[in-house]
Structure 1
Amino acid sequence: MSNTQIDPRQARRDAKITAILSEAWLLAERDGLALISLRDLAARVDLRQPSLYVYFASKFDLYDAMFADGYRRLVAYLDDRPLPAEPRSAVEHFVALLVRFASGDPVVHQLLFQRTIPGFAPSPASWDAALEFYGRARAVLGRTGIEHQDDVDIFSSLVAGLCDQQIANDPGGDRWVEHVPRVVAMFLRGAIQPLT
């Protein structure tokens, strides 16, 4: 038997927060991120609106939890899909996964990678989840010898463009995923060579 005992109250609280986040994402898909109604959200999780503030002090607090949850979803998605060993193939595969993730969950993509909520900035704790993803992206690029910040910035811009085009013009499809090998090849040819 484990020495660690699960606090039933904390377990219930965690389960409620998970349910609130799940419903918040559904409302965001239905109405848009900026238009999530706390009244609707509370009703969907069997709470009165004032009781929602027991879990989230403000709407920005809710967005902050969604931001961290979105990055956890993205990292879990990547964890379930291992990258090839060959560096260039790994970059191609990584980019294709990001485009597919964005297309499959555009509201999550919007919160993580676009500034659509005026005044919202993630807390340091939530930003740590973003940094975990960023570290993974840098590691994938690092396998090809690319480490210069300018190259990383350009790479992220190219990926963002592919994601946005896929969402806007072929949601759920592969039109921009099919461009990934060519985009990666052009990027790698133009990248600053690592110092030797």
Structure 2
Amino acid sequence: MLKKPAEDWRAARRESARASVLTAAWGLVREEGLAALSLRELARRAGITTPTVYAYFESKNAILDAMFAQAAQAFVDLKHSLPVTDDPRHDLLADAQAFVTFCVTDVPRYQLLFQHSVPGFTPSAESYELAVGALETTRELLARNGVHDPRHLDIWTAVTVGLVGQQVSNDPGGDRWIGLVEDVTRMFLAQYAHGDTT
């Protein structure tokens, strides 16, 4: 059965309103940090009343979950946008550099995706599945480089996220740890790239 035009209009209006709330939420956390996300301030920025926020999101955590999903999708899209060459080492380095840039250019997004920065918030299974998809892309890229042990995937993610954490905490706006990405990639592959490449 086809939807009536009025139903289509209402659904489009609801989605537009939800998008406006999320845009306001990102603006707020990028200016003030994740801890500053309050429904009252969010409503003010979105030009609506606080109770109206609840018409679109059942809770603050629901807003955070939608933001997490947007951030995870942006990360997946970034990883899929990177060119695949016949040089897997080059591709791993490009992936690592893109990851670090993705994180340091939007610290609240990085904190939401890769740290537990908001007490009491855990992403929904649906939102988290997007992040798992990005991790699977990394696993495949490591396999192309002869790295197959799941422990080594954990080491790779710990090292790359660690570089971001150091950069964000100790040299915001600089490039001290960003400049180490190539060295770290080379060291990692020298230590762990001993399996068959795919």
Common topology (TM > 0.5): yes
Partner SS, residue 134 of structure 1 = helix
* Identical-pair percentage: 37
Q: Distance in 1 between matches of 2:158 and 2:117?
A: 17
Q: Distance in 2 between matches of 1:82 and 1:89?
A: 10
- TM-score normalised per structure 2: 0.89
Give 2:74's aligned residue. Answer: 73
* Alpha carbons 1:100, 1:172 under 8 Å: kept: no
Unaligned runs of 5+ in 2: none
Q: Distance in 2 between matches of 1:133 and 1:48?
A: 36
Q: Distance in 2 between matches of 1:106 and 1:182?
A: 23
Give 2:143's aligned residue. Answer: 142
Give 2:124's aligned residue. Answer: 123
Spell out, residue by residue over 1:105-150, the C-alpha distance to the aligned partner (whole angstroms, 9 max, x if none). 1110000000111121111111111111111111111111212110
Unaligned runs of 5+ in 1: none
* Alpha carbons 2:79, 2:137 under 8 Å: kept: no
Change beyond 3 A, Cα 1:4–1:55: closer
Partner SS, residue 53 of structure 1 = helix
User: Within 5 A, what are the aligned runs for 1:9-158?
Assistant: 9-158=10-159
* Alpha carbons 1:148, 1:194 under 8 Å: kept: no
* Alpha carbons 1:92, 1:181 under 8 Å: kept: yes
- RMSD after superposition: 2.2
Q: Distance in 2 between matches of 1:121 and 1:170?
A: 29
Q: Distance in 2 between matches of 1:47 and 1:178?
A: 44
Q: Distance in 1 between matches of 2:29 and 2:70?
A: 14
Change beyond 3 A, Cα 1:76–1:36: same
Q: Distance in 2 between matches of 1:4 and 1:83?
A: 42
Give 2:175's aligned residue. Answer: 174
Amino acid at match of 2:64: Y
Q: Distance in 2 between matches of 1:144 and 1:4?
A: 50
* Alpha carbons 1:151, 1:192 under 8 Å: kept: no
* Alpha carbons 2:82, 2:95 under 8 Å: kept: no
Report how many aligned residue pairs link the two structures. 194
- TM-score normalised per structure 1: 0.90
Give 1:160's aligned residue. Answer: 161
TM-aligned CA deviation for residue 192 of structure 1: 6.7
